[in-house]
């Protein structure tokens, strides 16, 4: 079965403390909400300490056109994506030796926070010496589920081509979608939560030379995946595309949906592989927010300790949409041991879920 051999991440240099962003939001939203002080509790309740943004706060205080935002997206996404790929293919924590760029068969590029045609990996291939025959699979529109979905598609690719080495690159610049004239509660919540970052993982097929390059005693082998779409749920999460850019759609019902809808989905998936929830050593969850993590714990009946890594990533980086679960996965790869079984889970627009079962082998 395909396995994940290396992982790396990259974040922009602008570090924003949560109190700084809260003060910015108070100034912006105070005229729209009479109870702004109470609503601003969302910044503290989310337990996020800091985030990384593509631009400093002064940049967001002015009106920006879609063109300006997307140009900023392209510049930063190419930089972060390039950094993440370089680190992933040379990371001495996971690799005995560098993986040559020309040995990469395909790049799955995940992003939903900007537009790029040619896509991001084509632009990065003009910077790094990949083979011109590298297959490009850009995936757009999966939002927070995108990182897990990218892993699932890479798994399927490496099952079809067991000698392959492929990259899953996720780049999300959520801050650049901020709308200073959108005074909705969804935008306020998004302002308290979303952040920027990139991550890259190397997935190798069973018949590749992964044993030659793998440094860790064991690596996560993906052995099953499941994609699920909830019917008639288009208004739960996503973007409204307007003249000035992308406006966040963020239902207040996401935590309750997570608690009530996801549990039977996960239970059925696990039982089809003769695994019970209490047999999982690791829960590799995309931290959509503190309330979403709490809904996972309550709905699945798992120990809260299994969500500690997800909560730590949320605390230190915020919600970076699709990239966040890859940040979480990297930390599990640094400490998991041979024989461990983990479940990866992420929710996204659709409304949808992506699930992966992994065994450290």
**Which of the residues are catalytic?**
144
Residue 118, C-beta contacts closer than 8 angstroms, at least 6 positions apart: none
* Beta-ladder partners of 106: 135, 166
CB-side exposure of 308: number of CA atoms within 13 Å? 6
**Under a CB-based contact definition with an 8 Å cutoff, are residues 272 and 223 in contact?**
no
Q: Beta strands of the chain (E only): which ranges?
A: 3-10, 14-17, 50-53, 106-111, 135-140, 165-173, 196-204, 220-229, 237-242, 245-250, 282-285, 341-348, 352-360
Tell me the CA distances in angstroms from 96 to 210, 212, 279, one per residue in order: 10, 8, 32
Rounded CA-CA distance 180/63 in Å is: 7
Backbone phi, psi, residue 284, to 5°: -95, 80
Rounded CA-CA distance 251/257 in Å is: 10
**Under a CB-based contact definition with an 8 Å cutoff, are residues 72 and 176 in contact?**
yes
Rounded CA-CA distance 263/252 in Å is: 19
**Under a CB-based contact definition with an 8 Å cutoff, are residues 171 and 81 in contact?**
yes
Reduce the DSSP state of residue 244 to 3 states and report it: coil
**Under a CB-based contact definition with an 8 Å cutoff, are residues 277 and 322 in contact?**
no
């Amino acid at each position: 079965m395909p396995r994940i051999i290396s992982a790396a991440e990259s974040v922009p240099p602008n570090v924003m403390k949560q109190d700084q962003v809260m003060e910015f939001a108070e100034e912006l939203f105070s005229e729209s909400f009479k109870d702004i002080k109470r609503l601003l509790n969302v910044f503290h309740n989310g337990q996020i300490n800091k985030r990384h943004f593509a631009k400093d706060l002064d940049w967001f205080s002015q009106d920006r056109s879609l063109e300006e935002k997307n140009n900023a997206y392209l510049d930063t996404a190419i930089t972060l994506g390039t950094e993440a790929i370089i680190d992933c293919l040379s990371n001495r924590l996971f690799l005995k030796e560098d993986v040559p760029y020309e040995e990469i068969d395909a790049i799955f590029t995940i992003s939903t926070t900007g537009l790029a045609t040619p896509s991001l990996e084509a632009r990065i291939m003009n910077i790094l010496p990949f083979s011109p025959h590298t297959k490009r699979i850009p995936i757009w529109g999966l939002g927070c589920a995108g990182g897990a979905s990218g892993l699932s598609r890479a798994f399927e690719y490496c099952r079809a081509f067991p000698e392959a080495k492929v990259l899953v690159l996720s780049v999300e610049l959520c801050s650049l979608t901020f709308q200073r004239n959108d005074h909705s509660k969804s935008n306020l919540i998004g302002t308290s939560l979303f952040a920027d970052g990139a991550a890259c993982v190397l997935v190798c097929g069973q018949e590749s030379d992964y044993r030659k390059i793998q440094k860790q005693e064991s690596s996560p082998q993906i052995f099953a995946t499941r994609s699920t779409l909830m019917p008639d749920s288009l208004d739960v999460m996503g973007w409204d595309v307007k003249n000035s850019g992308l406006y966040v759609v963020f239902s207040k019902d996401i935590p309750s949906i997570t608690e009530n809808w996801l549990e039977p989905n996960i239970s059925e998936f696990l039982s089809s592989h003769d695994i019970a929830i209490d047999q999982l050593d690791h829960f590799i969850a995309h931290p959509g927010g503190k309330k979403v993590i709490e809904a996972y714990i309550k709905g699945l009946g798992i120990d809260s300790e299994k969500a500690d890594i997800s909560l730590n990533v949320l605390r230190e980086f915020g919600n970076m949409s699709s990239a966040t679960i890859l940040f979480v996965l990297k930390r599990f790869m640094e400490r998991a041991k041979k024989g461990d079984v983990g479940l990866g889970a992420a929710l996204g627009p659709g409304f949808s879920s992506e699930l992966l079962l992994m065994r450290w082998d």
